[in-house]
């Protein structure tokens, strides 16, 4: 099924009052963030999307695909489900070697040129992590960051899912801006649940959650783009320090001056 549009129709917040944001409409290529403090309902919102809520979840939201409720096959057959959801708990359990596992998945998806698809997938995930994945390694031997990167790469390339939900990927130690940059190259809808200012500011718009309700939509605008630039510098500095610490270096005077 060709997906052009995903619509979220507001329901009620934790107080039982209608949500201030009555409708969010997303089209292919949109990258958005969901922000808000812990317990504000961010994960519940993406759960509703993953479930294709049809006024049948506690929030009473409705999710429409191309303007109509999702067909049942979406929820019963994961290979027809257009939504890939990578949660903080999602993991690989298989102990097969990475390339063999990807081959099985690509086979089920009936992808052509399986070996080049696998190569592309591993390349993609290697761009997101510090240490490259050895295709002969067992899936269960991958580090936390490698696992997260491979989950994303597999959903984007082999799964070819049109809608990808990513719940707090900043915790995984993968290269976030690189991820955003790479993901923008694929015509998909990306929804990031995030506490990370950089991810939030690099999105097309962000949905603000409060007390279980969507309370505000904030579009990216020029004023913020300037702030984003500054945050980028700070963030890059922190990443640079992290890299130095990781590789066994000391942080010296020069870094101190730069920080000032």
Partner 1 sequence: MKAVICAGPPTTGKTTVLKQVVKKVIREGFHPVYLKVDVQYAVEDELFKKEFGIPVKKVYSGELCPDHCNVMVLGDAVEWARKEKADFLFVETAGLCLRCSPYIEGSLGIVVLEATSGMNLPRKIGPMLTLADIAVVTKIDLISQAEREVFRARVIDAAAGVSICETNALYGIGIDSLVKKILASPEIASSLVLRGNPPVGTCTVCVGKKEVGWQRHFGVVRPLENDIFYRGE
Stretch that binds partner 1, among 69-77, 176-184, 232-240, 245-253 (CB under 8 A): 69-77
Name which of 30 and 167 has its Cβ closer to partner 1.
167
In whole angstroms, how close is the CB of 203 to partner 1 at the nearest point? 22
> At a CB cut-off of 8 Å and minimum separation 6, what does 101 contact?
92, 94, 139
By CB under 8 A, the residues from 82 to 141 that bind partner 1 are 84-87, 89-94, 101-102, 104-105, 108-109
In whole angstroms, how close is the CB of 199 to partner 1 at the nearest point? 21
Q: Around Cβ 188, how many Cβ atoms within 10 Å?
A: 21
Decide: is 67 part of the binding site for partner 1 (CB under 8 A). no
Q: Around Cβ 46, how many Cβ atoms within 10 Å?
A: 20
By CB under 8 A, the residues from 165 to 204 that bind partner 1 are none
DSSP letter at 97 equals: B
Decide: is 77 part of the binding site for partner 1 (CB under 8 A). yes
Name which of 128 and 202 has its Cβ closer to partner 1.
128
End-to-end CA distance of the chain: 54
Stretch that binds partner 1, among 22-30, 68-76, 126-134, 212-220 (CB under 8 A): 68-76
Name which of 159 and 162 has its Cβ closer to partner 1.
159
Element (H, E) at 122: helix 114-128
Name which of 30 and 154 has its Cβ closer to partner 1.
154
In whole angstroms, how close is the CB of 154 to partner 1 at the nearest point? 5
Contact between 154 and 121 under an 8 Å Cβ cutoff? The reply is yes
- Indicate the angle between helix axes 114-128 and 144-153, nearest 10 degrees: 130
Return the structure tokens found at 205.
């718009």
Decide: is 76 part of the binding site for partner 1 (CB under 8 A). yes
Q: Around Cβ 78, how many Cβ atoms within 10 Å?
A: 12
Name which of 119 and 224 has its Cβ closer to partner 1.
119
- 242 vs 40, 130, 152, 238, CA distance in Å? 30, 12, 23, 6
DSSP letter at 185 equals: T
| Closest to 172 in 3D by CA, of 248, 234, 101, 90 | 90
In whole angstroms, how close is the CB of 40 to partner 1 at the nearest point? 18
SS3 sequence of 138-174: EHHHCCHHHHHHHHHHHHHHHCCCCEEEEECHHHHCC
Name which of 9 and 86 has its Cβ closer to partner 1.
86
Tell me, by CB under 8 A, how many residues bind partner 1.
31
Name which of 47 and 196 has its Cβ closer to partner 1.
47
Residues forming the site for partner 1 (CB under 8 A): 47, 51, 56, 72, 75-79, 84-87, 89-94, 101-102, 104-105, 108-109, 151, 154-155, 158-159, 161
């Amino acid at each position: 099924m060709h997906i052009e549009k995903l619509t979220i129709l507001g329901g009620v917040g934790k107080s039982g009052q209608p949500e201030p944001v009555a409708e969010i409409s997303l089209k292919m290529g949109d990258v958005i963030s969901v922000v808000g403090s812990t317990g504000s309902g961010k994960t519940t919102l993406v759960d509703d999307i993953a479930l294709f809520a049809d006024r049948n979840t506690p929030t009473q939201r409705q999710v429409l695909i191309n303007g109509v409720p999702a067909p049942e096959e979406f929820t019963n057959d994961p290979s027809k489900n257009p939504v890939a959801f990578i949660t903080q708990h999602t993991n690989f359990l298989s102990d097969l070697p990475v390339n063999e596992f990807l081959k099985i998945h690509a086979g089920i998806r009936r992808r052509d040129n399986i070996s080049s698809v696998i190569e592309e997938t591993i390349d993609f995930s290697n761009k997101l992590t510090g240490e490259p994945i050895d295709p002969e390694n067992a899936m269960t031997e991958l580090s936390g960051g490698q696992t997260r990167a491979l989950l994303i790469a597999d959903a984007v390339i082999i799964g070819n899912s049109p809608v990808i939900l990513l719940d707090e990927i900043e915790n995984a130690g993968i290269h976030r801006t690189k991820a955003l940059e790479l993901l923008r190259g694929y015509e998909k809808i990306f929804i990031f649940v995030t506490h990370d200012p950089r991810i939030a500011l690099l999105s097309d718009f962000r949905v603000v959650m409060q007390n279980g309700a969507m309370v505000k939509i904030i579009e990216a605008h020029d004023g913020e783009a300037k702030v984003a630039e500054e945050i980028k510098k700070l963030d890059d500095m922190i990443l640079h320090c992290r890299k130095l610490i990781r590789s066994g270096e000391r942080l010296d005077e020069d870094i101190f001056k730069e920080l000032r």
